[in-house]
Structure 1
Amino acid sequence: MQTVSIIGYPLGHSASPAIHNAAYEAMSLDARYEAWSVPLEELAGAIERLRGPGMLGMNVTVPYKQAVMPLLDEIDAAARAIGAVNTIVKREGRLVGHNTDAYGFMRSLREAGCDPAGMDALVLGVGGSERAVAYALAEAGARRIALAGRNPQRLEAAAVHLRNTAPRPVGVLQVPWEAAGDAALEAGLIVNCTPVGMKHTPEETASPLDASLLRPGVWVYDLVYNPLETVLLRQAREAGARPVRGLEMLVYQAIAAIELWTGREAPFDIMLSAALRALGLEE
């Protein structure tokens, strides 16, 4: 039996083992998925373990999506442009870093019915997860991407990074957090990449935007997937906007990782059901 792991630190409750192991069972793969909480001083050793014959592949989560990059033999072009690796593939004895977050985001957005081509998008938060989102939006042909953040230095860095690495021409705006409301009124798509609204946090009952800024017809995507309907998504629904939850992104990025490791497509419905059970959520 081969092993797949997810590494991070500290690694709290993760739905990934349940999602992956449900897929492996359905696919009759002789593999198991484990969560490894790896302190920084053990990171290089964990990556080296992946080279062993008993390892099929590895996922990477915070805070190591950037830190693993110099430890790998090769970085996929998209992952390098995004500046983060969340999936490591073994290929002819080499460790290759990929990013499946961008795919997971865009696949789930399109499955919900939103094509961002030609659209003005507002991305809330510049803590790191916005890089895959912004890359995916640029690749899909968004007309303009406004990045909103509280930290001026991070906001500047995120905007410069996107301008330098976007796979297609796209307008990039830097929006101070206090001006995010004005940008929201001009956007056809709003994506929350902040942890605001996440269960078991001080901001669980909060929203990153005032409800009055959400208009009928605008797409509102929340990367937060627990609870299934965040305060932001509830506000969007009540405003007649088009809310899109983040759980499907988690599943689709896992599907992309499994395909990279095995060359086979994993079962979405089984993995989504496993995610809901693991998180104690109900449709």
Structure 2
Amino acid sequence: MRSPELISGATRLAGVIGDPVRHSLSPAIHNAAYAAHGLDWAYVALPVRPGGVEAALRGAVALGLEGLSVTMPHKATAAACCDELTPAAVSLGVVNATKRVGTSLVGHNTDGTGFLHALSAAGWDAAGRNAIVLGAGGTARALTAALAGAGAARVTVAARRADAAREVAQLAGAVGVGVALDRVDDAGWGGADLVANTTPVGMIGGPAPQHALAQVELLSPRCWVIDAVYHPTETPLLVAAKGRGLSTLGGVELLVGVSAEVFTWWTDLDAPLDAMSAAALDQLGRER
């Protein structure tokens, strides 16, 4: 981690906005990446309340920040505030990162492709597979589109509200199906090659910290289970999946995959994944 005395007038700044955001692992992850490459960059967490997103983004451009990661609940608002959107951000209507290009603000989304990057590194390929995406928020939108783009045979979006699930499933085109969560039947769970939780269920301090949305007991031995929640690192969903002997990826691995693509978009350098993962786990260990 960079020492405060090493920050100078030449240091290039980046950060993350959200509400809340003080708990974010992103500063540890990105600062480790900068250190591994010897970059004179620094990354900080910047709490921004709803209603202040446009002012925050314009202020960041005026101050010369290189870019900002964007987390809940600001992803859709941030997209509307950008001067330009990448094709990924246009199709999704949400951004998880912005970049300053002169005096303009460009919005991008690496949530879905970052998740697939982490899965690919672990040995899972979406082509020809059946996936269930739990949730209908910005991350669900990104992952649904990414899975379809990677050749998934079927992407079922399951959310509390069927209409919200169907709207997200449209991003997968002909292979997308949207249903209410309680309408996923035994055959649906049993036929899944991937189950991905993109909701805050299972998160410490979240709406249901002791719960898992998936019917893990119905999943086949081939199914992979991933959970975007990283606090705790072992969510109820992941504990149940590991108890069945299923392959899993947790929120830390997924966040590193997403952050790696943002890092490369900003710097044009390959992301040092091992250093980024180690920094995230170290940060979590010190918070316990």
TM-score using structure 2 length: 0.89
Alignment pair present for 1:186 and 2:194: no
Partner SS, residue 138 of structure 2: coil
Deviations 1:172-205 (A, max 9, x none): 1122221224321121211112222223335222
Deviation at 1:281, TM superposition (A): 7.3
Distance 1:36 1:273 in 2: 23
Distance 1:11 1:190 in 2: 26
Q: 1:69 to 1:211 in 2, by over 3 A?
A: closer
Deviation at 1:72, TM superposition (A): 1.2
Aligned length: 276
Q: 1:9 to 1:234 in 2, by over 3 A?
A: closer
Deviation at 1:39, TM superposition (A): 2.2
Q: 1:2 aligns with which of 6, 12, 33?
A: 12
Distance 2:35 2:175 in 1: 45
Alignment-mate amino acid for residue 126 of structure 1: A
Alignment pair present for 1:78 and 2:88: yes
1:211 corresponds in structure 2 to 216
Q: Is the 8 A contact 2:98 2:108 kept in 1?
A: yes
Deviations 1:95-132 (A, max 9, x none): 11111112210011111211110111111121332111
Alignment pair present for 1:224 and 2:229: yes
Alignment-mate amino acid for residue 124 of structure 2: C
Q: 2:106 aligns with which of 96, 103, 108?
A: 96
Q: 1:43 to 1:194 in 2, by over 3 A?
A: closer
Root mean square deviation, CA, Å: 2.0
Q: 1:117 aligns with which of 111, 121, 127?
A: 127
Deviations 1:208-227 (A, max 9, x none): 12332122121112222222
Deviations 1:123-181 (A, max 9, x none): 11213321111011011100111111112332232234x1xxx4xx5421122221224
Deviation at 1:251, TM superposition (A): 0.9
Q: State percent identity of aligned pairs.
A: 40
Distance 2:132 2:155 in 1: 6
Deviation at 1:86, TM superposition (A): 0.9
Q: 1:65 to 1:202 in 2, by over 3 A?
A: closer
TM-score using structure 1 length: 0.90
Q: 1:73 to 1:187 in 2, by over 3 A?
A: same
**Structure 2 gaps, min length 5:** 1-10
Poorly superposed stretches of 4+, deviation over 4 Å: none
Alignment-mate amino acid for residue 272 of structure 2: P
Deviation at 1:85, TM superposition (A): 0.5
Q: Judging by fraction of residues, say which structure has more helix.
A: 2
**Structure 1 gaps, min length 5:** none
Alignment pair present for 1:35 and 2:40: no
Partner SS, residue 51 of structure 1: helix
Q: Is the 8 A contact 1:144 1:173 kept in 2?
A: yes
Q: 1:170 to 1:279 in 2, by over 3 A?
A: farther
Q: 1:200 to 1:9 in 2, by over 3 A?
A: closer
Deviation at 1:60, TM superposition (A): 0.9
Q: Is the 8 A contact 1:121 1:189 kept in 2?
A: yes
Distance 1:127 1:59 in 2: 17
Aligned positions of 1:234-249 closer than 5 A: 234-249=239-254
